[in-house]
Amino acid sequence: MIVAIDGPAGTGKSSTSRAVAQQLGLTYLDTGAQYRAMTWWMVNNGVDVSDPAAIAAVVDKPEIVSGTDPEAPTISVDGVDVSGPIRTPEVTAEVSAVSAVPEVRARITRLQRAIAAGAEGGIVVEGRDIGTAVLPDADLKVFLTASPEARAARRSGELKGSDVHTTREALIKRDAADSSRKTAPLAKAADAVEVDTTDLTLLQVIECVVTLVEEKRATK
């Protein structure tokens, strides 16, 4: 059972995906963490992240390993745990530019497909292009949405102390960059179930997605 959960930042994607995987005994993959890991490596190694050719030239160098236990997902680069460093503002500011490079997307997509193919019992994969580009044959595709205001409020809560207005503008800018990139843009798959999380609690969103997965399982 492969479940693809896509959507922009602040819609509850990560929390929902992890909880659904936990409840249903599936493994879990945060693909955004992989792109952040790649970005962290580029920044740490002095690569000019405004130069796509410079990024493409070294895209195969970092060894990125994702742990898929929903209870404690991990991400490492060259054997170093980077689960904390990849969430810094410095990485966040550059991740759209790095992830837009076709060679980066090709490398990470290969990694994601290999992890999904090797997942015993099934996996929940969350990201921005999973249902459209990475795993177009996923058993279930869910696209989470929410108003910019709701997303900014949630993200500000996560970032503790950040300004909601500034966060909202950053989210809108990120959406525009990710939706307009030429390679695998952020988009809803034609056969995805859209869930608007604006007025829903996290538990309600989790319950909704668990129900969708169970319904799909029943028809397999």
For residue range 44-94, what is the model confidence (pLDDT) as tens digits?
A: 999 999 999 999 999 999 999 999 999 999 999 999 999 999 999 899 899
What is the CATH classification number for the domain harbouring 182? 3.40.50.300
- β-partners of residue 4 are 125, 141
Please tell me the total count of domains within the chain: 1
Per-residue pLDDT of the chain (220 residues; tens, 9 = 90+): 999 999 988 898 999 999 999 999 999 999 999 999 999 999 999 999 999 999 999 999 999 999 999 999 999 999 999 999 999 989 989 998 999 999 999 999 999 999 999 998 899 999 999 999 999 999 999 999 999 888 888 777 666 656 777 878 887 787 777 777 777 788 899 999 999 999 999 999 999 999 999 999 999 7
Residue 212 within any structural domain of the chain? no
The token duo for 1 is: 């059972």
* Mean pLDDT for all residues in the chain: 92
Residue 217 within any structural domain of the chain? no
User: Would you tell me the crossing angle of helices 89-99 and 164-180 to the nearest 10 degrees?
Assistant: 20
Residue 214 within any structural domain of the chain? no
- Cβ neighbourhood burial of 147 (10 Å; 0-12, 13-18, 19+): middle
Residue 215 within any structural domain of the chain? no
Task: Please give the model's pTM, rounded to 2 decimal places.
Answer: 0.89
Residue 67 within any structural domain of the chain? yes
Residue 84 within any structural domain of the chain? yes
Map 52-93 to HEC letters.
HHHHHHCCCCCCEEEECCCCCCEEEECCEECCCHHHCHHHHH
Domain span at residue 169?
2-206
Residue 218 within any structural domain of the chain? no
